[in-house]
Structures are given as structure tokens and as C-alpha cells.
Amino acid sequence: MQTTPNPPPDLPAPIAGYFAHETTSPAAVARCFTDDALVVDERHEHRGRAAIEAWNAAANGKFTFTTELLAAEFDGPLITVRANVTGTFPGSPIQLHFRFTLAGGLISRLEIAP
């Protein structure tokens, strides 16, 4: 599993960190989030750093995939990153939108959807 090494320019540090570590370190991914952050992925909610770390570890263990970052849109604390994701999961390849909300210099919410 990997993320392309060239994310769209000017991504805030916690979002750049999320993509830099999503395939290598669930603990580093979790540190990009606030203590009470929420991730919504495949209609399942994962709240708090421990749950987010477990979610990321499970994804890494279950599927092999690559993420190609395409574009980013900024709207105040809401940043939407569009990416092509290809891998061993049903429905691959798929274009996904990663909708991040920032608070206090960290990610407070991430929703992943087509």
C-alpha cells in the first residue's frame, strides 16, 4: 500500500502527514488527528485516536492499494482532497474524496466517500 509521494501543493501539515503515513504507520496517522476526531469510512465511524489507529491498521492489513492524489480544494477549515485509489479491494479502481476538517492545527474530522 502506498501514497504517491507528490501530494498537491500547500496541504496543511496534518493532511500531508496523513497521506505520508497512511501506508506505513497507523500511530503516525493517529497523531494527525485531535483526541476526539471522527473518521467516517464505508459508512462506519471511528472516533478518537485509538480507534483511528486501529482503523488504519486494519485497512493496511486487509488490502493492498495505492493512492494517487489529484487535487485539493480549500474552504476555510474544510479541505477536500480528490484521489484515485487502486488496489485489491472490491470496486477498484475508484476516485475518492477525502473531506478533512481542521481544528487547532489537527484533523478533527475525515470523511472518505466517492
Question: What's the pLDDT at 10?
Answer: 84
Could you tell me if residue 75 is left (phi over 0), alpha (psi between -120 and 50 degrees) or otherwise beta? beta
- CATH number, domain with residue 34: 3.10.450.50
Which three cell numbers mark 25? 504507520
Question: What's the pLDDT at 23?
Answer: 86
Q: Tens-of-pLDDT digits for all 114 residues of the chain? A: 444 445 566 899 999 999 999 988 999 999 999 999 999 999 999 999 999 999 999 998 999 888 999 999 999 899 999 999 999 999 999 999 999 999 999 999 999 999
Report the side by side order of strands in the sheet with 2-3. 2-3, 65-75, 78-87, 94-103, 106-113, 33-41, 44-47
Range of the domain at 83: 2-113
Question: What's the pLDDT at 8?
Answer: 64
Q: What is the pTM of this model?
A: 0.90
Question: What's the pLDDT at 112?
Answer: 98
Q: How far apart, in whole angstroms, are the C-alpha atoms of residue 19 and residue 5?
A: 9
At residue 23's C-alpha, the angle toward residues 59 and 25, to 5°, is 100
Question: What's the pLDDT at 2?
Answer: 46
Question: What are the distances in angstroms from CA 79 to CA 56, 88, 94, 101?
Answer: 20, 27, 20, 6
Looking at the structure of the chain, the number of domains it has is 1
Question: What's the pLDDT at 1?
Answer: 41
